C-alpha cells in the first residue's frame, strides 16, 4: 500500500474471469503520515481507506472483466461493515466478486480478511465507461505492476488488454 497515493493493492494473487472473482494482497506500511493523525499513539488504517482498498480490488476485477476497454468509476458503497481494527504492518487479503454487469453499471461484493478473520466487507456499485483521455496507459501500467495483466492473460484476456475501437 502507498496510502498517500491511494495505491492500495500490492499484488493480485488470483483472477478467475469466468467466475468473476479476484483476490489480492495489500500490505499496510509500517509508517505513513496517515497514522500521525489517525490516531496519535494508536495508529489505525481509516475505514475510508479500507473501503478504497475493496473498491480498487473490485475495479481491477472489472478492468479484467471488461478487457481493459472501459474504466470502472465507484458510484456507491452499500452495506459497508467494519468488524475490527488494523494497524501498521498488517497483510490484508482482499477479495471481490462480480454480482452484476450491464448497461454501463456493475456491482461487486468485496471483503478484507486479516489473519484469517473478517475485517471489512461491502457491496460496491460502479459506472463503467470509456477511459478518459490519457488514463488508460497509467491504469494498464499499474495493472502490470501488481500482476493483474499477467493473471488476465492467463485467464484468456488479450495481451495488454483489448484495444478500444
Alpha-carbon dihedral angle through residues 100, 101, 105, 109, given to the nearest 10 degrees: 40
**43 φ/ψ sector (left φ>0, alpha ψ -120 to 50, else beta):** beta
Q: What does the alpha-carbon distance between residue 103 and residue 92 come to, in Å, rounded to a whole number? A: 32
Q: Which residues are tagged catalytic? A: 38
Amino acid at each position: 500500500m502507498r496510502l498517500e497515493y491511494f495505491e492500495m493493492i500490492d499484488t493480485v494473487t488470483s483472477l478467475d474471469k469466468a467466475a468473476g472473482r479476484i483476490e489480492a494482497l495489500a500490505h499496510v506500511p509500517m509508517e505513513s503520515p496517515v497514522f500521525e493523525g489517525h490516531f496519535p499513539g494508536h495508529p489505525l488504517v481509516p475505514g475510508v481507506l479500507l473501503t478504497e482498498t475493496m473498491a480498487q480490488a473490485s475495479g481491477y476485477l472489472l478492468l479484467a472483466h471488461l478487457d481493459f476497454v472501459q474504466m470502472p468509476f465507484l458510484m456507491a458503497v452499500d452495506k459497508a461493515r467494519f468488524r475490527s481494527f488494523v494497524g501498521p504492518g498488517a497483510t490484508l487479503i482482499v477479495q471481490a466478486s462480480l454480482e452484476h454487469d450491464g448497461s454501463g453499471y456493475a456491482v461487486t461484493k468485496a471483503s478484507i480478511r486479516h489473519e484469517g478473520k473478517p475485517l471489512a466487507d461491502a457491496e460496491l456499485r460502479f459506472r463503467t465507461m470509456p477511459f478518459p483521455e490519457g488514463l488508460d496507459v497509467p491504469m494498464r501500467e499499474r495493472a502490470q505492476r501488481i500482476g493483474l495483466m499477467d493473471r488476465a492473460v492467463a485467464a484468456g484476456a488479450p495481451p495488454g488488454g483489448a484495444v478500444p475501437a
